[in-house]
Amino acid sequence: MLKLILFLQIVLLTLFFGAGYFIYLEIGAISSALEEAMGVIGEIQNLLPKLEVAVDTVISLEAAFQSLAGISDILTMLLDPLQGNS
């Protein structure tokens, strides 16, 4: 009977150690994934100011192209005055 209890205790201890080791490995994997995610977040934070400058440049270029379309219409009317009357 004592041998059976000793055997069950050894089995339980082995299960506890195995579960503890598995949890340790999973925590390590989560930690490395979290470190990688934090690195990506840092890179994105470094790129955000550059992205804001690029967006501002595109917006200013859009306004310039809209004014160019207006200038093109004015030049067309000035160069071909008969087109506006017909």
- The predicted-structure confidence for 35-82, as pLDDT tens digits, reads as follows 999 999 999 999 999 989 888 888 887 777 777 777 877 777 777 766
pLDDT for position 54: 86
For position 84, what pLDDT does the model report?
A: 52
pLDDT at 19: 97
Annotate 6-70 with DSSP letters as a single string: HHHHHHHHHHHHHHHHHHHHHHHHHHHHHHHHHHHHHHHHHHHHHHHHHHHHHHHHHHHHHHHHH
Contact assessment for residue 66 and residue 59, using Cβ atoms and an 8 Å cutoff = no
Which residue type sits at 26?
E
Mean pLDDT, residues 2-25 = 96
Say what the pLDDT of residue 13 is. Answer: 97
- pTM of the full structure: 0.54
- For the chain, how long is the longest CA-to-CA vector? 115
